[in-house]
Chains A and B, each alone.
Chain A
Amino acid sequence: MKRLIGPQSALRLPSARIAIVVLLGIAVLTAFGSTLAPQNPLTINANALFQGPGAHHLLGTDYLGRDVLSRLMAGTRLSVLTALEAVGIGLVLGTGPGIATVFLGRWFDFAANRVTDALMTLPYVFFAVAVTAALGNGLVQAMVPVGILLAPFFFRVTRAATLEHARAQYVEAAELMGASKLHVVRVHVLRKVLPTIAVTTASMAAAALLAVSFLTFLGIGVQPPAPTWGGVLSSDLAYLAQAPWAPFIPGALIAVTVGALNALADAFRDRRGAGTLAAQPDPIIRTHSTLEPADDDRQSQVA
């Protein structure tokens, strides 16, 4: 992946660097959040209810006197891992058919597109709650349907990108030379489509994280004492009169994480033109054509 560090790299943008730092922090919290937490997230302290941010409790305490910072740190793992679960499901279910549909003929394409359209008519939070009715109340169960409903976005983006590259001249050339479809996909298409998929993955991760925090906010999938980002938010909601500032802390955490993912997606999109479907000058033909332009062509340009 030379592109990650080259002069054209998206990581040269300051917004992308900040985003990476934020996401690394979240990753550390995901791995070691409950160990690093300064206090036990479940310890109830009746002498310290609704405390504002201070020296002893950096982000204050909630309605049971529990340390908010520790609760948020300990809640990171569940939120992030289930969001990644949904993105993973969407990625696998969406990109495979998205690439395949271009090569499998019109009927498969029609069918796959209609399934995609149908899935897009189901709002994912609504659907996730409905599925917990069928499969039982659990965050892992609830994020499976979210993943399935994220798949159409991966499918559409991958299909569009694959269509673009499958029409390139070098693919035609490879086919004329007798390359199999599998070879064309593996060697020529996959590598070109990957940046687009990366951009989509980042923005879908943001969407999945929002879905997780909303589901936990609704109380889907977690038993009450266990800390989650959305759970902290919803327990604050009942005590707005006592602590009106409290919801801003988990709200800011969610917003910063989602913002970092979006910023990363935007940075890649801006630098690589990946994920945008607008017509762009085709760099492929230029690099692969070793022929000098014909003389009369050059003259007409001068004239």
Chain B
Amino acid sequence: MTVTSMPRAAGADQPRRAPARGAAPRRRRSRIIVSRLGGGLAVLVPIVLISTFITYSLGALSNSNPAATILGQDAATPAAVARLNHALGLDHPLIVQYWNWLTQAAHGNLGRSYFTQIPVAQSIAQRLPVDLSIAVLAVILAAVIGGGAGMIAAIRRGGWFDRGVTVACSAASTLPAFVVGIILVVLFAVTAHLLPANGYVGPSTSIAQWLAHIILPSLALSLAVSADIARQLRTSLVEVLEQNYIVGARVRGLPYRRILVRHALRNAAGPALTILGNDFPLMLAGAVAAEAVFSLPGLGQLLLQSAQTRDIPVVQGLLLVISCFVIVVNLIVNTTLNWLYRANDGIGT
């Protein structure tokens, strides 16, 4: 095995490159960074444009006539409808409407609800904390439960804990979040009366109450992802722990905990992190499920209400916010992965 293909943790012990190497490598390095950024943007911009366009065209797909809806049956004369359509900008071609909507959205203006006239951004901002609390706590729980279980299973591979984790993972991945949520309600709220079965309290009112209300939804959400993470982490950690450099590190007398964290985990965490990033959309969708089970006043309830009343601007705004979240989380995960697997091309080493 050559030095360059050595894993990163071992590479960290190598002497740093001498700084005085002239301007040429530095120029090359900056060119690599620029081309990478360019490549990243070339991928990111189309994604944002396409997904926002899909979101916006939903309004055009619906044959509903928003102006007539707003005006009501009596006032909806053709002239009044045309005037309101003009005021709402709905008489432009779809692509122009889309661009206007997108530029407004970039300034934080998502339009107003057709029915309540409340700005969409405001009602989303009101409800976002609920889903964010659940999703973030679920990610933390998934990382702790799944990561912990996967790690212990990998260290004690073949033991009873390992087999138990494998069985539990298969079972957990077949149970949808809303079923898990109901089971948790039955166990902890209806039978044991330990935690509230539904409702939401903001963290500014009472931190303890806030945690008590979001812990069950988050747990329900995190279970399937924990199972995925545990399975993936176990597989990759078992593989890494059998590598020569782990044996080498043990021979050098490093403490096992340090080997585990700095050498093994760092190299094995990639696939599990990817899963965490890929499952985030599922988590947000699952947050809708959790809201339905625990009757929380979140984005999902808003979506259901506005879908029933065909309040298109609210639906569009919600989809936009959700897909932006997914894109940002994916970016964060990819950046973290790049940092974990710093390539040998001179960036970051």
Spell out A's residues near B (CB within 8 Å).
111, 114-115, 117-127, 129-135, 137, 206, 210, 213-214, 217-218, 220, 233-234, 236-237, 240-241, 244-245, 247-248, 251, 254-256, 258-259, 262
Identify which of B23-31, B121-129, B203-211, B307-315 touches chain A. B307-315
Do A121 and B284 form a contact, CB below 8 Å, given A115-B50, A254-B179, A255-B175?
no
Distance in angstroms between the alpha carbons of A135 and B63 in the assembled complex: 8
B178 within 8 A of A: yes
Give the nearest-CB partner of B325 in chain A.
A121
Residues of B within 8 Å of A121, CB to CB, are: 47, 51, 281, 323, 326-327, 330
By the criterion CB–CB under 8 Å, are B310 and A133 in contact?
Answer: yes
By the criterion CB–CB under 8 Å, are A240 and B307 in contact?
Answer: no
By the criterion CB–CB under 8 Å, are A114 and B47 in contact?
Answer: yes
Closest 5 pairs between A and B when the two form their complex, measured CB to CB: A134-B62, A123-B285, A118-B50, A133-B307, A259-B174
Residues of A within 8 Å of B49, CB to CB, are: 118
**Mask: chain B, 177-193; 1 = CB below 8 Å from A; 0 = not:** 01100110110001100
Give the nearest-CB partner of B60 in chain A.
A134
Residues of A within 8 Å of B288, CB to CB, are: 125-126, 129, 218
Do A122 and B179 form a contact, CB below 8 Å, given A129-B304, A258-B174?
no
By the criterion CB–CB under 8 Å, are B51 and A119 in contact?
Answer: yes
By the criterion CB–CB under 8 Å, are B285 and A133 in contact?
Answer: no
Distance in angstroms between the alpha carbons of A172 and B315 in the assembled complex: 50
If over half of B's interface residues share one DSSP class (helix, strand or loop), that class is named, otherwise mixed; here it is helix
Q: List 5 A-B contacts (CB under 8 A).
A: A118-B51, A126-B288, A126-B322, A218-B304, A248-B186
Distance in angstroms between the alpha carbons of A256 and B183 in the assembled complex: 16
By the criterion CB–CB under 8 Å, are A251 and B54 in contact?
Answer: no
B140 within 8 A of A: no
By the criterion CB–CB under 8 Å, are B315 and A210 in contact?
Answer: no
Distance in angstroms between the alpha carbons of A295 and B323 in the assembled complex: 60
Residues of A within 8 Å of B62, CB to CB, are: 133-135
By the criterion CB–CB under 8 Å, are A130 and B190 in contact?
Answer: no
B84 within 8 A of A: no
Q: For B174, B289, B330, which residue has the most chain A Cβ atoms within 10 angstroms?
A: B174
By the criterion CB–CB under 8 Å, are B59 and A134 in contact?
Answer: yes
B293 within 8 A of A: yes
Interface residues of B in 312-339 (CB under 8 A from A): 312, 315, 318-319, 322-323, 326-327, 330
Residues of B within 8 Å of A247, CB to CB, are: 179, 182-183, 186
Residues of B within 8 Å of A237, CB to CB, are: 182, 293
Residues of A within 8 Å of B191, CB to CB, are: 244
B176 within 8 A of A: yes
Since A111-B46, A115-B50, A122-B54 are in contact, a sample of 17 more A-B pairs with Cβ atoms closer than 8 Å, ordered by chain A residue number, is A114-B43, A118-B47, A118-B50, A122-B326, A124-B285, A125-B285, A126-B318, A129-B307, A130-B307, A131-B61, A133-B312, A134-B59, A134-B64, A137-B307, A237-B293, A254-B179, A262-B174
Number of interface residues of B (CB under 8 A): 54
B58 within 8 A of A: yes
Give the nearest-CB partner of A137 in chain B.
B308
Residues of B within 8 Å of A233, CB to CB, are: 178-179, 182
Which residue of B61, B173, B185, B308 is within 8 Å of A262 (Cβ)?
Answer: B173
Distance in angstroms between the alpha carbons of A256 and B175 in the assembled complex: 9
**Mask: chain B, 251-295; 1 = CB below 8 Å from A; 0 = not:** 000000000000000000000000000000110110011001100
Distance in angstroms between the alpha carbons of A258 and B224 in the assembled complex: 13
Q: Whole-angstrom distance from the CB of B243 to the nearest CB of chain A?
A: 17
By the criterion CB–CB under 8 Å, are A122 and B182 in contact?
Answer: no
Residues of A within 8 Å of B47, CB to CB, are: 114, 117-118, 121
Give the nearest-CB partner of B61 in chain A.
A134
Q: Whole-angstrom distance from the CB of B275 to the nearest CB of chain A?
A: 14
Residues of B within 8 Å of A125, CB to CB, are: 285, 288-289
Residues of B within 8 Å of A129, CB to CB, are: 288, 303-304, 307
B97 within 8 A of A: no
By the criterion CB–CB under 8 Å, are B183 and A248 in contact?
Answer: yes
Which residue of B51, B54, B311, B323 is within 8 Å of A133 (Cβ)?
Answer: B311
Do A127 and B319 form a contact, CB below 8 Å, given A114-B50, A133-B62, A218-B304?
yes
Q: Whole-angstrom distance from the CB of A229 to the nearest CB of chain B?
A: 10
Q: Whole-angstrom distance from the CB of B334 to the nearest CB of chain A?
A: 12
Q: Whole-angstrom distance from the CB of B210 to the nearest CB of chain A?
A: 23
Interface residues of B in 45-92 (CB under 8 A from A): 46-51, 54-55, 58-59, 61-62, 64
Interface residues of B in 96-128 (CB under 8 A from A): none
Q: Whole-angstrom distance from the CB of B94 to the nearest CB of chain A?
A: 13
Distance in angstroms between the alpha carbons of A237 and B55 in the assembled complex: 32
Residues of A within 8 Å of B303, CB to CB, are: 126, 129-130
Distance in angstroms between the alpha carbons of A114 and B171 in the assembled complex: 34
Give the nearest-CB partner of B326 in chain A.
A121
Distance in angstroms between the alpha carbons of A34 and B204 in the assembled complex: 52
Give the nearest-CB partner of A130 in chain B.
B315
Q: Whole-angstrom distance from the CB of B193 to the nearest CB of chain A?
A: 11
Residues of A within 8 Å of B281, CB to CB, are: 120-123
Residues of A within 8 Å of B282, CB to CB, are: 123
